[in-house]
Amino acid sequence: MTKAEIAHVLTEIGTLLELKGENPFKIRAYQTGARIVESLAEEEIARRIADDTLEEVKGIGEALAQKIGELHTTGKLGFYEKLKASIPAGLVELLQISGVGPKKIRALQAKLGVDSIAKLQAACESGAVAALEGFGEKSQEKILEGIRNREKYSRRHLWSDAFATAEPILAGLRALPQVLRAEHAGSLRRKMETVGDLDFLVATTEPKPVADWFVAQAGVKEVTAHGETKASVRMQSGIQADLRLIPPEQFVFALHHFTGSKDHNVQMRHRALGLGLSMSEWGLVPAEGEGTAKEKAEQAGRKTDITSEEALFKKLGLAFVPPELREGLGEIEAAEKGELPALVEVADIRGVFHNHTTASDGHNTLEEMTAAAQALGLEYLGIADHSKSSVQARGLDEQRLADQVAEIRKLNASGKFKTHVFTGTECDILPDGRLDFADDVLAGLDYVVVSVHSAFKQSRDDMTARIIRAVENPHTTMLGHLTGRLLLQREGYEVDAEKVIDAAIASKVVIELNASPWRLDMDWRLWRKAAERGLLCAINPDAHDTAGLADFRTGVGAARKGWLTKEQVITTRSLASIKRWLTGRKKG
DNA sequence: GCCGTTTTCGGCCCGACTGTTTTCAGTCG
């Protein structure tokens, strides 16, 4: 079994145990275990199973090590099969309903025999749920509403869509006279590729008018909470937005807390406890003594010297951890040792490769794209239209490619734009790993992006060998979207990323971080280790129109999540440096 | 189920909001 499949089983076990009413900490152990498995390299898991050292990984004990080993070697787990058999399959889907958790599900099953969404709906419609102890009319209504909208409400959203929704809300909050400071938090601030809901934090001494504005703003479909310190709304798009109203002196603690991630926060609290401090969204207070954490924090908050996240981290003996890194994947250890990377920034980007024009499936002409690149301050723009096999995308044949190259050379020579245009292609990787153009055609271009656009259903081994063959072609400059995934729409094709990365490093081929909001591929989780081993990254917007060029900014967010520095991202290099690099590759 | 320069047992983050309650459980983040 692959690590992704193992992690999936561990997560499933956690969910099933939850439905059984098991010890919450046991459940968390499985969830943590799943996350740890995901964070390890495929080969490390295999090695640790082989030499029986899985238990040395923090968070994995005897029981988890045994289960992971069994899954990895046999592809099955007796414990999991039995557990699954003991719980009606329909119970798991009940968890999707907003406001319904494990305890309510167990009560509904025990007293009404509910074991599916259909039965729950029927029970609500007959009024049986409202009559149940611990439930009432409102609960019943809420459950029905949750059933009706479960798809819409549970859906995640592309980071860029979430950001587009959040921006005007944040601006609206900042414009209120009672608001001293407002920020967004959560996975949006951490630049996760998808976002579940929006979190807004406001520092204020007059929370009521702020909450009132928030629940009454345009685009609100439903108000789900409206309290003293918190308000929640459901927007028309189905995305939920939460507002937290915080006294100014506690704002920094809340900002850190609600930025998360959960794993990061657990580790931070643990660290604080080790220093005799209790950490919460309210503040950082002595762990000992009388009173609730909130009471202590309120007293401490008035005289706290911590007024920035930098100071908060410093108090715990840590360097400032940028929000993108707060995933509980080693950032705290690195911050402690002063080994956090200086992350690449949007301002570092000097150019972009892999963009389309009307020659293939783009919506803007070469000149329009170049003008847009110049307006973005980019020194160079790579044009990489599709090759002839991508018929659906009007891929260019040899003649049309030659015409385009001539057009680009003419444009560069004209001096019309400051932005230099590189000639390239997004050359299809054919099912057997050959490229869609002959060597002499490829040799005439400034650079070559190779991508898979067909035969997605090949076996993992075939796909891996296919891509590696393409990567090893001496004319290949960079590999496009490693997995071909479309976030929230389509899984990527099966491929052994580790092996492809090794091949790319060996062949001095760059892998792109496709910055299209739907792709963000290669995934940020793979970048840290790959870059440490020497892989270079190109942040490519894969723009199909002028507006799409700016997506490189979204890509920078993903690159930062992957711990990438300016040096590891080739598109931060100057035009002169890139020209030297491209020429050098041709000679070498 | 995991972990340990306080611990091999007893902790494991903790508070807000809602709806059902008459003092609190469940859910959520």
The 10s digit of each residue's pLDDT in A531-583 is 999 999 999 999 999 999 999 999 999 999 999 999 999 999 999 999 999 99
Superfamily of domain A346-587: Metal-dependent hydrolases (3.20.20.140)
**Helix and strand numbers, DSSP H then E, in chain A:** 26, 17
**How far in angstroms lies nucleotide B26's C1' from the CA of residue A355?**
51
User: Does the pLDDT at position A422 exceed 80?
Assistant: yes
**How far in angstroms lies nucleotide B17's C1' from the CA of residue A468?**
54
**How far in angstroms lies nucleotide B26's C1' from the CA of residue A142?**
14
The nt closest to A27 (CA vs C1′) is B1
Q: Where are the domains of chain A?
A: 3-85, 89-154, 157-246, 254-337, 346-587
Q: Which CATH class is domain A254-337?
A: alpha beta
Question: Higher-confidence residue: A156 or A438?
Answer: A438
- Say how many C-beta atoms besides its own lie within 10 A of residue A570's C-beta: 20
Give the list of residues 6+ apart from residue A306 with CB closer than 8 angstroms, or none: A252, A253, A284, A312, A315
Question: In sequence order, which ranges of A218-359 are alpha helices (DSSP H)?
Answer: 251-259, 262-274, 293-302, 309-315, 331-337
pLDDT on residue A210 = 95
pLDDT on residue A292 = 55
pLDDT band at A294 (very low <50, low <70, confident <90, very high): low
- What is the mean pLDDT of the segment spanning A236-257? 91
Tokens of A150: 């479960």
Average pLDDT, chain A: 91
pLDDT band at A98 (very low <50, low <70, confident <90, very high): confident
Yes or no: domain A3-85 corresponds to CATH 1.10.150.110:
yes
pLDDT on residue A307 = 87
- With beta carbons less than 8 A apart as the criterion, state whether A260 and A274 touch: no
The nt closest to A229 (CA vs C1′) is B16
* Residue A505 exposure: Cα atoms within 13 Å on the Cβ side: 15
**How far in angstroms lies nucleotide B9's C1' from the CA of residue A271?**
22
3-class secondary-structure state, position A296: helix
- Which residue has the closest alpha carbon to B12 C1'? A25
- What is the mean pLDDT of the segment spanning A249-267? 88
Name, of A98-107, A419-428, A456-465, the range with top average pLDDT: A419-428
- Which residue has the closest alpha carbon to B25 C1'? A134
pLDDT on residue A170 = 96
User: Does the pLDDT at position A59 exceed 70?
Assistant: yes
**How far in angstroms lies nucleotide B14's C1' from the CA of residue A25?**
14
Give the list of residues 6+ apart from residue A81 with CB closer than 8 angstroms, or none: none
- What is the mean pLDDT of the segment spanning A489-498? 90
Tokens of A418: 């400051």
**How far in angstroms lies nucleotide B2's C1' from the CA of residue A59?**
6
**How far in angstroms lies nucleotide B23's C1' from the CA of residue A49?**
51
- Which residue has the closest alpha carbon to B29 C1'? A258
**How far in angstroms lies nucleotide B4's C1' from the CA of residue A11?**
26
The nt closest to A257 (CA vs C1′) is B29
Question: In sequence order, which ranges of A190-287 are alpha helices (DSSP H)?
Answer: 207-216, 251-259, 262-274
User: Does the pLDDT at position A151 exceed 80?
Assistant: no
**How far in angstroms lies nucleotide B16's C1' from the CA of residue A474?**
60
- With beta carbons less than 8 A apart as the criterion, state whether A203 and A182 touch: yes
pLDDT on residue A75 = 93
pLDDT on residue A588 = 57
The nt closest to A59 (CA vs C1′) is B2
Please give the DSSP secondary-structure letter assigned to residue A572: G
pLDDT band at A490 (very low <50, low <70, confident <90, very high): confident
User: Cα separation of A241 and A231, whole Å?
Assistant: 8
Tell me the CA distances in angstroms from A570 to A98, A178, A540, A583, one per residue in order: 44, 45, 10, 14
Domains A254-337 and A346-587 are alike in CATH topology: no
**What order of strands is seen across the sheet that includes strand A240-246?**
A181-184, A197-203, A240-246, A230-235, A220-226
User: Does the pLDDT at position A287 exceed 70?
Assistant: no
pLDDT on residue A262 = 82
User: Cα separation of A83 and A27, whole Å?
Assistant: 13
The mean-pLDDT minimum among A84-88, A155-159, A219-223, A298-302 falls in A298-302
The nt closest to A231 (CA vs C1′) is B17
User: Cα separation of A295 and A391, whole Å?
Assistant: 66
- Which residue has the closest alpha carbon to B3 C1'? A59
Q: May I ask the CATH architecture of the domain A157-246?
A: 2-Layer Sandwich (3.30)
- What percent of chain A stands above pLDDT 90? 71
For strand B, give the nucleotides within 7 A of a protein CB: 1-4, 11-21, 25-29
pLDDT on residue A273 = 78
Biggest CA pair distance of chain A: 80
pLDDT in tens, A425-484: 999 999 999 999 999 999 999 999 999 999 998 999 999 999 999 999 999 999 999 999
The nt closest to A140 (CA vs C1′) is B19
Superfamily of domain A89-154: 5' to 3' exonuclease, C-terminal subdomain (1.10.150.20)
**Among the listed residues A474, A533, A540, the one whose alpha carbon sits nearest the alpha carbon of residue A498:** A533
Tokens of A161: 């869509």
- What percent of chain A stands above pLDDT 70? 97
**How far in angstroms lies nucleotide B15's C1' from the CA of residue A306?**
21
pLDDT band at A295 (very low <50, low <70, confident <90, very high): low
- What is the mean pLDDT of the segment spanning A18-40? 87
The nt closest to A24 (CA vs C1′) is B12
pLDDT on residue A451 = 97
User: Cα separation of A374 and A379, whole Å?
Assistant: 7
pLDDT on residue A41 = 80
User: Cα separation of A546 and A90, whole Å?
Assistant: 47
**How far in angstroms lies nucleotide B4's C1' from the CA of residue A274?**
12
The nt closest to A100 (CA vs C1′) is B27
What residues are paired with A449 via a beta bridge? A426, A478
Positive or negative, the CA dihedral A100, A38, A525, A334 is: positive
pLDDT on residue A298 = 58
pLDDT on residue A50 = 92
Name, of A40-44, A250-254, A534-538, the range with top average pLDDT: A534-538
Tokens of A507: 């062949």
> Computed over its alpha carbons, how large is the radius of gyration of chain A?
26
User: Does the pLDDT at position A300 exceed 60?
Assistant: no
- Which residue has the closest alpha carbon to B28 C1'? A99
pLDDT band at A343 (very low <50, low <70, confident <90, very high): very high
Size of chain A, expressed as the number of residues it contains: 588
Please give the DSSP secondary-structure letter assigned to residue A241: E
Tell me the CA distances in angstroms from A194 to A8, A12, A79, A164, A519, one per residue in order: 18, 21, 32, 13, 11
The nt closest to A199 (CA vs C1′) is B29
